[in-house]
Chains A and B, each alone.
Chain A
Amino acid sequence: QVQLQESGPGLVKPSETLSLTCAVSGYSISSGYYWGWIRQPPGKGLEWIGSIYHSGSTYYNPSLKSRVTISVDTSKNQFSLKLSSVTAADTAVYYCARLFGLRASYFDYWGQGTLVTVSS
């Protein structure tokens, strides 16, 4: 059974960089598949942030591309998200998930999510 667990600071100051890590268990990232980050502001819908292949190829939401970096550490079986120059609008529950299927089009396993609040 694949399991994902997000971790990182729950509070980030405006203009700083949000950093989160997703630890994967039950599957070796180096074996393949795409891995992604999704966020959900309080009371709002889901937004895809970006995805990374086990080899390191990345794909980002065009609206966030200038501020997002996703990386993978196969030795630790985890992948990470960095979002720079954050504002209150970046306050959200951040989920990590595995992408599967044709063109890696759907998310089959999700983490429980972690709330990140941007506030001074």
Chain B
Amino acid sequence: QSALTQPASVSGSPGQSITISCTGTSSDVGSYNLVSWYQQHPGKAPKLMIYEGSKRPSGVSNRFSGSKSGNTASLTISGLQAEDEADYYCCSYAGSSTFDVVFGGGTKLTVL
């Protein structure tokens, strides 16, 4: 079980859109549309932003969207705002007969 691969950092200006990639394998991201994304501000617990690939929990802005192509999932944030600056982690279901999950290494989003 290897960690999913995310870029270490991305940046964008207010109002712009950015995309964070999350690359796994055919055993996790590629086999299931069960990727979730979490936002984490410094010193805080992670917050669920996207689940089951592209679904948004109640209360999460529609500026956040998720997608998948092959072994790579993506989180897109449109209309960047200063409060979006945070660390973002992807997570995928990784078990065919178990309930294992695996996280990505995390991406630091800087709003310029």
CB distance from B38 to the nearest CB of A (A): 8
Interface string of B84-98 (1 = CB under 8 A from A): 000001011101001
- Of A47, A105, A107, A111, the residue contacting B52 (CB under 8 A) is A105
Q: Which residues in window 52-67 of B have CB below 8 A to A? A: 52, 57
B45 touches A106 (CB 8 A): no
- Of B57, B95, B103, the residue contacting A46 (CB under 8 A) is B103
CB distance from A100 to the nearest CB of B (A): 8
Of the candidate stretches A13-21, A55-63, A66-74, the one touching chain B is A55-63
A99 touches B99 (CB 8 A): yes
B18 within 8 A of A: no
Which single residue of chain A is at the shortest CB-CB distance from B104? A45
Q: How far does the alpha carbon of A51 sit from the alpha carbon of B95 in the complex, in Å? A: 12
B102 touches A106 (CB 8 A): no
Interface string of B28-50 (1 = CB under 8 A from A): 00001010101000000111100
Given contacts A46-B106, A48-B102, A59-B99, contact A112 B45 (CB under 8 A): yes
Size range of the interface on A? Answer: 20 to 34
Interface string of A101-113 (1 = CB under 8 A from B): 1111111101111
A45 touches B103 (CB 8 A): yes
What residues of B have a CB within 8 angstroms of the CB of A47 in the complex? Answer: 103
What residues of B have a CB within 8 angstroms of the CB of A102 in the complex? Answer: 34, 52, 93
- Of A38, A59, A63, A95, the residue contacting B98 (CB under 8 A) is A59
Q: How far does the alpha carbon of A47 sit from the alpha carbon of B38 in the complex, in Å? A: 13
Given contacts A45-B105, A102-B52, A105-B51, contact A95 B45 (CB under 8 A): yes
A-B CB proximity, top 6 nearest: A106-B36, A105-B93, A105-B34, A45-B106, A106-B51, A110-B45
Q: What residues make up the interface of B, taking CB atoms closer than 8 Å to A?
A: 1, 3, 32, 34, 36, 38, 45-48, 51-52, 57, 89, 91-93, 95, 98-106
Q: What residues make up the interface of A, taking CB atoms closer than 8 Å to B?
A: 34, 36, 38, 45-48, 51, 53, 59, 61-63, 95, 99-108, 110-113
13 CB-based A-B contacts, threshold 8 Å: A38-B103, A45-B3, A46-B103, A51-B99, A53-B99, A59-B100, A100-B51, A103-B93, A105-B101, A106-B34, A106-B48, A108-B51, A110-B45
